Amino acid sequence: MTKTTTSAETPIGEGLSLSQPLDPALSRSTPAALQAIDLTQPLPDLDNATLIPLDLASEYWSPERPGEEKRVFFVKLATSLVKPADDSDELIQLECAYFLEKVNGEVRQIRNGSKRLVGTLADAVDQGFVTQGTPMLLTYMGKKRNRTNSFSADVFSVKPLRVNVGA
């Protein structure tokens, strides 16, 4: 039996969801569909608008201790402008993995640019194991020395989670 969906419902916080008609231009790879207002029409009053507990500002996650974990939802792989490790003033383009994390009822976006983490997720996306919204447990395993040079790289365990959602 095929279920026809006429609206997008995106759970955002405890007891709160955002529903709106599906836009045919939106695809599965589009971030959660937040409400958008037609700016060519008179603007509605925002004084009584409901605040969505989702911080769109992305925070760079740099784990410090082996065993540090995050339970997250995968969002995407994309480049981000970041300050390099040598603290120079110029910004560099870094391929990052983006996630949503729920902490104390607030949803925030985090990202990490570890080459091993990004590579693992890129392979999983290519193989069809991971898509936008996949819940996963990220565990920082520590640093491992590279065989080809004197540098070390962050190592992560990436394990999918199964979430029990309403029947």
User: pLDDT tens, 132-141?
Assistant: 999 999 999 9
pLDDT band of residue 122 (cuts 50, 70, 90) is very high
Higher-scoring residue by pLDDT: 23, 120:
120
Block residue for tokens 């540090």: 68
Average pLDDT taken over every residue of the chain: 80
Q: Which two tokens stand for residue 167?
A: 């029947």
pLDDT at 1: 41
pLDDT digits over 38-96, tens only? 999 999 999 999 988 888 888 889 999 999 999 999 999 999 888 777 777 888 899 99
State the Cα torsion 92-95-100-103 to the nearest 10°. Answer: -50
Number of H helices, E strands in the chain: 1, 8
> Quick one: pLDDT at residue 4?
37
CA distances from 125 to 60, 82, 167 (A): 21, 24, 27
pLDDT exceeds cutoff 50 at 18: no
Query: At 58, which amino acid appears?
Result: S
Q: How far apart are CA 77 and CA 54, in angstroms?
A: 19
